[in-house]
């Protein structure tokens, strides 16, 4: 028994010794850990104390005690080590001061042994020596594992931060969303987290940087956060519109928008300031632009589907909303706000009555309608987009490179010698230019304008076009509709009429009236008569000041006459000259042959079926035929009849955006459909149009003859 008791005692002793050794090692390890944690806590506490003091200094500084930025001493050599991306993460030393113990004690702070670099204006505190913890040295609170950013600062008026958010165009399948211009009036914060989520998601993604890439188009909600400080949420759409199809002779063009006292600038590929990543951004109303070799400018209208919601479904003339969905390539598919692919509808028959209030429909200007007789103004293949002249056609400036005469335009006109300002009796009509502050090309028949537009790509043209890869033609109603529907959408003016070009150059200049790219700062103003001297002053403009009440296209007020209300849009859609379009009613009126034979006739046969270049509208034979006496009363009756039978054509901003004859288009714009001797169509109004008559949705009838306030615009398509 005794032996057994002794054996048990020995084993117990051994076990006890082992346990004591383990406990001793644990205690030693724990003691070291406690000491490390204690030192970290002390460092954190002193940083918090100093941060609180600096927050108070910032408040006093904001209240007028500006000398507080001079507290402390000049930076010493230690600053070179601390202010690096590898140490504190802060590389800009500007405004920082060295707070040694003497400075800290002068502030009445007790118990703080650390020293600091401080920037009062930024409310920034940086440790002088830093604190090493588990292999990493920390210099600021936001570097600590707990993620403490500028803590213990109380929002004095509880105003959250504000910011701007933009989205670059898509590159390599991704778009860069950027947060800029952060303002937070209650103090400086070095670091913000960005939270974002795609519509339909129930979780937030986080970006530590102020920009992030997304690979899915759609509507994103974005906010910035710093601890318990949080901004309001903003939405931005990552828009993926079809990239422009560049044509031979074109150069990518972008703009620096006017601001302050500086007018805007045009920037082309090859210029130092050109940035291909921000060449265009339809989500931010920056449409793609290009410039051809002669200086003419063109705007890309990407393929899209649209849906109309009327303000009053019982009265379409009271306006509405046009919602646009950009399509993928030459398909009918688009991304919805949640990034899911949907398919738009399209017209499949020339007898189909399309209801664009019921669903999204592919705009017919971009579709292959060869199988349905181009009923709605389509093309002979599916298009990813079209190029529209940025300005109305204008007379060339007289530079040597614009003296070439279009070969199939064989006639003379009274005009002006643009080089020296003197008048001439006759001068050959040359290639038009599509530039700002140019005399709009008037006094041409619609036949001339059709021929001129088709000749833009002929051999030896001034634009650099190659006829084998580029088609040029007179704008059709469908293409006008595609332009103004995009204009009216959130990607353009967002349901606002652009300023009217109401300039009438009717001084000592013979037969020249409208001038491209000008306005007087109003949407409906009557004509403003100016002189050649005014034009000289405008050409010598500087900054954003009006010249005799007139603004140019690159000035703050002047850009508001474009389809985007900035320099990226299409101009002269409201006023300038009436733009004649390639559309008519085949009512056998003599003006069809006299003024437009190349458009309307095949040899001696009147064409009654649309082509890819011209749209033939239905007409009411009871009220619109050659036996009807041609007077204004009968003209109005015929227009009413023709409007009534126009039940199928869509996308042209006629049937969908008006209710009849008069001023019954959206915005009270003109609505007189072609009829009788006014067998051709024109759009947009002119400088002579009465108040509330010209505008995006204005359409009118015209004989197609040579008149002072009628001009045209051309369109380009990649073959």
Among candidate residues 189, 216, 238, the one where a domain is terminated = 238
Q: Are residues 70 and 179 located together in one domain of the fold?
A: no
Q: Which domain holds residue 139?
A: 2-143
Does any domain span residue 296?
no
Could you tell me where the beta strands, DSSP code E, fall in 550-697? Answer: 551-552, 578-585, 601-602, 605-606, 615-617, 680-683
| Maximum Cα interatomic distance, the chain, rounded to a whole number of Å | 143
Structure tokens given for 377: 């103004």
Measured CA to CA, the distance from residue 224 to residue 165 in angstroms comes to 11
What pLDDT was estimated at residue 38? 77
At CA 615, angle to CA 609 and CA 620, rounded to 5? 70
Q: Are residues 71 and 105 located together in one domain of the fold?
A: yes
How many CA atoms lie less than 13 Å away from 246 in the CB half-sphere? 12
Contact 234, 165 (CB under 8 A): yes
Q: Are residues 136 and 205 located together in one domain of the fold?
A: no
Q: Which residue shows structure tokens 């422009």? A: 244
Does any domain span residue 397?
yes
**What is the distance, to the nearest Å, from the Cα of residue 128 to the centroid of all Cα atoms in its chain?**
47
> Which residues, at least 6 apart from 5, have a Cβ–Cβ distance to it below 8 Å?
none
Does any domain span residue 254?
no
Three-state DSSP class for residue 668? helix
Contact 385, 242 (CB under 8 A): yes
Measured CA to CA, the distance from residue 469 to residue 339 in angstroms comes to 34
598 φ, ψ (degrees, to nearest 5): -65, -20
Q: Are residues 52 and 169 located together in one domain of the fold?
A: no
Q: Are residues 128 and 175 located together in one domain of the fold?
A: no
What pLDDT was estimated at residue 509? 60
Q: What is the mean pLDDT of each run of 10 residues along the chain (719 residues)?
A: 47 58 50 69 85 83 85 93 85 91 90 91 88 86 60 51 90 91 81 93 89 94 90 94 97 97 97 92 95 97 98 95 98 96 97 97 98 98 98 71 35 33 43 93 92 93 96 98 98 97 77 91 91 90 94 98 98 98 98 97 97 98 96 97 98 97 95 98 94 94 94 98
Contact 303, 384 (CB under 8 A): yes
Within 590-631, where are the H helices?
A: 591-594, 597-600
Does any domain span residue 417?
yes
Structure tokens given for 11: 């084993």
Does any domain span residue 457?
yes
What pLDDT was estimated at residue 111? 81
Contact 377, 476 (CB under 8 A): yes
Does any domain span residue 286?
no
Measured CA to CA, the distance from residue 78 to residue 94 in angstroms comes to 15
At CA 707, angle to CA 703 and CA 711, rounded to 5? 90
Three-state DSSP class for residue 58? helix
Q: Are residues 95 and 180 located together in one domain of the fold?
A: no
* Local structure of residue 699 (DSSP, 8 states): E
Measured CA to CA, the distance from residue 687 to residue 529 in angstroms comes to 10
Closest CA to 274 of 249, 291, 259: 291
Q: Which helix (H) or strand (E) holds 336?
A: none
Q: What pTM was estimated for this model as a whole?
A: 0.77
Closest CA to 399 of 309, 293, 311: 293
Measured CA to CA, the distance from residue 447 to residue 705 in angstroms comes to 9
Measured CA to CA, the distance from residue 163 to residue 177 in angstroms comes to 13
The CA distances from residue 696 to 199, 535, 574, in Å, are: 33, 26, 6
Does any domain span residue 265?
no
Q: Are residues 576 and 474 located together in one domain of the fold?
A: yes
Structure tokens given for 221: 């909600």
Q: Which helix (H) or strand (E) holds 408?
A: none
> Which residues, at least 6 apart from 686, have a Cβ–Cβ distance to it below 8 Å?
514, 575, 576, 577, 578, 694, 709, 710
* Local structure of residue 665 (DSSP, 8 states): B
Long-range own/partner contacts, residues 533-538 (CB < 8 A, 24 or more apart): 533/507, 535/437, 535/505, 538/437
For residue 1, the tally of other CB atoms under 10 A from its CB is 5
Measured CA to CA, the distance from residue 370 to residue 368 in angstroms comes to 6
Q: Are residues 137 and 185 located together in one domain of the fold?
A: no
What pLDDT was estimated at residue 32? 53
What's the residue count for the chain?
719
| CATH number of the domain enclosing 230 | 2.60.40.10
Ramachandran area for residue 14 (φ above 0: left; ψ -120 to 50: alpha; else beta): alpha
Contact 622, 641 (CB under 8 A): yes
Q: Are residues 432 and 492 located together in one domain of the fold?
A: yes
Q: Could you report how far apart the first and last alpha carbons of the chain are, in Å?
A: 111
Edge-first strand order for the sheet with 124-127 is 97-99, 116-119, 124-127
* Local structure of residue 190 (DSSP, 8 states): S
Q: Are residues 395 and 444 located together in one domain of the fold?
A: yes
DSSP3 helix / strand / coil % (the chain, rounded to 5): 25, 25, 50
Contact 324, 489 (CB under 8 A): yes
Does any domain span residue 70?
yes
Closest CA to 99 of 70, 130, 72: 72
Q: Which residue shows structure tokens 């460092």? A: 43
> Which residues, at least 6 apart from 368, have a Cβ–Cβ distance to it below 8 Å?
378, 379, 380, 381, 382
Measured CA to CA, the distance from residue 559 to residue 536 in angstroms comes to 19
Structure tokens given for 345: 């509808």
**Structural domains counted in the chain:** 3
What pLDDT was estimated at residue 468? 97
Quick: pLDDT tens for 504-562: 987 556 677 899 999 999 998 889 999 888 998 999 999 999 999 999 999 999 999 99
Contact 317, 664 (CB under 8 A): yes
Among candidate residues 143, 171, 191, the one where a domain is terminated = 143
666 φ, ψ (degrees, to nearest 5): -55, 145
> Which residues, at least 6 apart from 631, have a Cβ–Cβ distance to it below 8 Å?
none
Q: Which residues lie across from 518 on neighbouring strands?
A: 552
Closest CA to 702 of 564, 577, 545: 577
Among candidate residues 196, 216, 238, the one where a domain is terminated = 238
Q: Are residues 536 and 566 located together in one domain of the fold?
A: yes
**What is the distance, to the nearest Å, from the Cα of residue 716 to the centroid of all Cα atoms in its chain?**
21
Measured CA to CA, the distance from residue 520 to residue 558 in angstroms comes to 8
What pLDDT was estimated at residue 12? 58
Could you tell me where the beta strands, DSSP code E, fall in 625-719? Answer: 680-683, 699-702, 710-711, 714-718
What pLDDT was estimated at residue 28? 44
Contact 685, 578 (CB under 8 A): yes
Q: Which residues lie across from 423 on neighbouring strands?
A: 416
Q: What is the dihedral of CA 355, 358, 362, 365, to 10 degrees?
A: 30
Measured CA to CA, the distance from residue 409 to residue 474 in angstroms comes to 14
Q: Are residues 659 and 701 located together in one domain of the fold?
A: yes
């Amino acid at each position: 028994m005794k032996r057994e008791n002794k054996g048990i005692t020995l084993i117990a002793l051994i076990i006890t010794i082992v346990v004591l050794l383990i406990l001793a090692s644990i205690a030693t390890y724990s003691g070291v850990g406690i000491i490390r944690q204690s030192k970290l806590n002390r460092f954190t506490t002193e940083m918090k104390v100093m941060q609180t003091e600096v927050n108070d200094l910032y408040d006093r500084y904001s209240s007028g005690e500006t000398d507080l930025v001079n507290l402390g001493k000049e930076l010493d050599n230690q600053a070179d080590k601390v202010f690096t991306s590898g140490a504190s993460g802060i590389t800009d030393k500007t405004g920082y001061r060295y707070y040694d113990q003497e400075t800290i004690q002068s502030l009445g702070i007790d118990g703080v042994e650390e020293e600091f670099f401080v920037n009062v204006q930024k409310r920034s505190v940086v440790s002088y020596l830093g604190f090493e913890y588990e292999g990493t040295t920390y210099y600021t609170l936001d570097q600590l594992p707990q993620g403490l950013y500028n803590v213990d600062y109380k929002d004095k008026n509880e105003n959250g931060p504000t910011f701007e958010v933009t989205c670059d165009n898509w590159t390599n399948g991704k778009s860069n969303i950027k947060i800029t211009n952060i303002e937070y009036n209650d103090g400086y914060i070095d670091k913000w987290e960005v939270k974002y989520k795609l519509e339909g998601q129930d979780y937030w993604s986080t970006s530590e940087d102020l920009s992030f890439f997304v690979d899915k188009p759609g509507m994103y909600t974005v906010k910035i956060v710093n601890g318990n400080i949080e901004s309001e949420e903003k939405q931005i759409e990552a828009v993926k519109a079809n990239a422009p199809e560049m044509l031979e002779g074109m150069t990518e063009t972008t703009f620096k928008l006017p601001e302050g006292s500086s007018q805007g600038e045009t920037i082309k590929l090859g210029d130092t300031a050109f940035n291909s990543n921000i060449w265009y951004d339809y989500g931010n109303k920056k449409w793609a632009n290009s410039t051809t070799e002669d200086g003419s400018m063109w705007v890309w209208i990407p393929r899209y589907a649209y849906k109309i919601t009327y303000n009053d479904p019982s009265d379409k003339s009271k306006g509405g909303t046009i919602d646009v969905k950009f399509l993928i390539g030459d398909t009918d598919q688009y991304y919805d706000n949640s990034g899911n692919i949907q398919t738009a509808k399209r017209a499949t028959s020339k007898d189909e009555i399309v209801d664009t209030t019921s669903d999204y429909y592919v705009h017919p200007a971009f579709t292959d309608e060869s199988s349905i007789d181009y009923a709605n103004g389509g093309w002979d293949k599916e298009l990813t987009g079209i190029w529209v002249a940025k300005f109305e056609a204008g007379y060339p400036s007289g530079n040597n490179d614009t003296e070439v005469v279009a070969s199939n335009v064989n006639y003379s006109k009274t005009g002006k010698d643009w080089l020296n300002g003197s008048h001439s009796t006759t001068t050959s009509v040359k290639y038009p230019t599509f530039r700002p502050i140019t005399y709009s090309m008037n006094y041409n028949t619609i036949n001339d304008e059709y021929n001129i537009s088709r000749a833009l790509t002929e051999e030896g043209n001034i634009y650099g076009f190659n006829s084998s890869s580029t088609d040029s033609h007179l704008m059709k109603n469908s293409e006008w509709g595609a332009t103004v529907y995009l204009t009216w959408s959130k990607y353009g003016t967002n349901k606002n009429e652009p300023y009217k070009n109401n300039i009438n150059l009717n001084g000592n200049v013979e037969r020249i009236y409208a001038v491209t790219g000008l306005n007087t700062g109003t949407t409906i103003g009557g004509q403003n008569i100016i002189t050649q001297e005014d034009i000289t002053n405008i050409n010598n403009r500087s900054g954003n000041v009006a010249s005799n009440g007139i603004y140019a296209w690159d000035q703050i007020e002047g850009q508001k006459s474009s389809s985007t209300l900035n320099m990226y849009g299409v101009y002269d859609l409201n006023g300038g000259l009436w733009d004649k379009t390639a559309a008519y009613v085949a009512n056998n009126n003599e003006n069809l042959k006299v003024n437009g034979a190349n458009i309307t006739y095949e040899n001696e046969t009147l064409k009654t079926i649309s082509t890819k270049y011209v749209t033939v509208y239905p007409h009411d034979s009871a009220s619109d035929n050659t036996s009807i006496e041609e007077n204004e009363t009968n003209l109005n009756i015929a227009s009413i009849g023709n409007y009534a039978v126009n039940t199928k054509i869509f996308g042209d901003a006629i049937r969908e955006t008006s209710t009849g004859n008069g001023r019954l288009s959206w915005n009270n714009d003109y609505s007189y459909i072609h009829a009788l001797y006014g067998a051709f169509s024109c759009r947009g109004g002119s400088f002579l149009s009465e108040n509330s008559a010209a505008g995006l949705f204005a359409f009118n009838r015209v004989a197609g003859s040579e008149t002072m306030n009628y001009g045209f615009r051309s369109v380009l398509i990649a073959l």
